[in-house]
Amino acid sequence: MSRSLQVSLDFRSHAGEADSVAVGTLAQDGRRVFFEFHPDFLNSGLDISPLRLPPKASLQEHRVKPGVPLPGVFSDARPDGWGLKLLHRQFQAQGRPASSVSALEELAFLGSHTMGALRFEPSTGTDQALSQAVELGQLAAHAQAVYDNASVEVLPELVRAGVSSGGARPKALIGIGPQDQICSGEGPLPTGFQAWLVKFPTSSDDSQVAAREQVWMHMAALAGLDVPETRLLPIHAGHAFAVKRFDRGPDGQRLHMLSAAGALDVDFRTARGDYRDLGRLTMHLCRDMRQVRALFRLAVFNVATVNQDDHLKNLAFLMTPQGAWRLSPVFDLTYSPHSSGYRSTSVMGQAQGITHRQILELGAALSLSKAQVQETVEEVLSATLQVSQLLEQAGCENLVSKRAATQVELASQALHR
């Protein structure tokens, strides 16, 4: 069975002004996957995946491997975890088992409703209006029921709002407008609305999970990281954590986004990264030592705050319509210890028990001066050592939050000289 999709970069804003660039053709023939760039794209000066899918005139065959059925930049656009669950429910309602749905069919279902700026045609997904009002509490309750497999039916508004999102936890893409009006879905938003992503708590979460993530993002801002706007939204059982989407500009303009996993063409679930290699990737894409230092700052922060779920999908790069690359604002920062004690991304080959020594070695490997390294570490630790006070101010005082404060203080102290 063969199938092909036309791929383009869609930089449209809320105003709907056409600003689309043809990228090429993605095709599958049996188990083989190919991509060919459009001649116009080869002359555009743009590069959607500089390391693994460089622009060239010849047909390129993707080496299919577990977890990466398509070239990494396109695998990034596929739903995973929660979004994949919603999408497969849609196909199952049509009598299609999940195992029969190909990666290209998933992209065709999304069409233009993707994270980032990639668009896939022809689209097979819904053409219904995407900006209808929604009651967030009801959406959260239904999301939890679907997440717990307590509901077979998936409401259309949840599919539209959630199928594009990544990660395992239930999420929804929403618009927030004047007087905190909320509309669901991915697509052009009404005038005055901004694009946000909201995370819903699950039945296995403690009651302070959303507030704690808000504290982590506040702590990251104090540490000098580039942090998007965040807020807590009231729902039926407390709060949901919401973050303003950074793959959309102020007027809704779409930005191309590429994760570290996509850039390296690996499966983030199984691949193990190291911050030394991520620093080199950052320099390769961005050509800017300021971005490398920002990556170093994030590494120090993740170690100090026991964010061990720092896998390769949780680091991303943004490309402007002119082709310039930079690190995205930070995301998915929270207290997240692994039961094994090992972090997803190591520091100079070490995945636990990281001290000031490994941080110094990382800074040197990334060509940062000793003064830059020490200044960055001090700025990060001045924020992370406030963790107990920040959690208390946010009302996070349950056992999980107290354990988080203790472990963050210990991890931060280990990074002191």
The model's pLDDT over 309-361, given as tens digits with 9 standing for 90+, comes to 999 999 999 998 899 999 999 999 999 999 999 999 999 999 999 999 999 99
Whether 259 maps to a domain, the answer reads no
Lowest mean pLDDT, pick from 105-119, 127-141, 230-244, 349-363: 127-141
Please tell me the predicted confidence (pLDDT) of residue 154: 67
**For the residues 268-288, what does the mean pLDDT come to?**
96
Give the separation between CA 220 and CA 225, rounded to whole angstroms: 6
Q: Is residue 263 part of a domain?
A: no
Rounded to whole angstroms, the Cα distance separating 145 from 47 reads 41
In a domain, 168, yes or no: yes
Which domain does 162 fall in, by range? 136-244
Asked if residue 145 is part of any domain, the answer here is: yes
- Are 81 and 166 within one domain? no
pLDDT of residue 95: 80
Same domain, 83 and 146: no
Task: Quote the number of domains for the chain.
Answer: 3
Q: Residue 1: its pLDDT value, please?
A: 45
Torsion of CA 341, 346, 349, 351, to 10 degrees: -10
Q: Is the pLDDT higher at 400 or at 85?
A: 400
Residue at which a domain ends, from 58, 93, 121: 121
**pTM for the complete prediction?**
0.93
Are 380 and 350 contained in the same domain? yes
Residue 110 amino acid letter: L
The answer as to whether 196 is a domain residue is yes
In a domain, 256, yes or no: no
* Same-domain status, 346 and 237: no
Domain end point (choices 95, 121, 147): 121
Q: What pLDDT is attached to residue 167?
A: 67
Mean pLDDT of the chain: 90
Q: Which of 198, 226, 244 is the last residue of a domain?
A: 244
Indicate whether 189 and 292 sit together in one domain: no
Same domain assignment for residues 279 and 409: yes
| Residues making up the chain, counted from first to last | 417
Counting residues of the chain whose pLDDT is more than 90, the rounded percentage is: 64
**11 within 8 A of 321, measured Cβ to Cβ:** yes
Please say whether the beta carbons of 332 and 313 come within 8 A: no
Residue 360: predicted pLDDT: 98
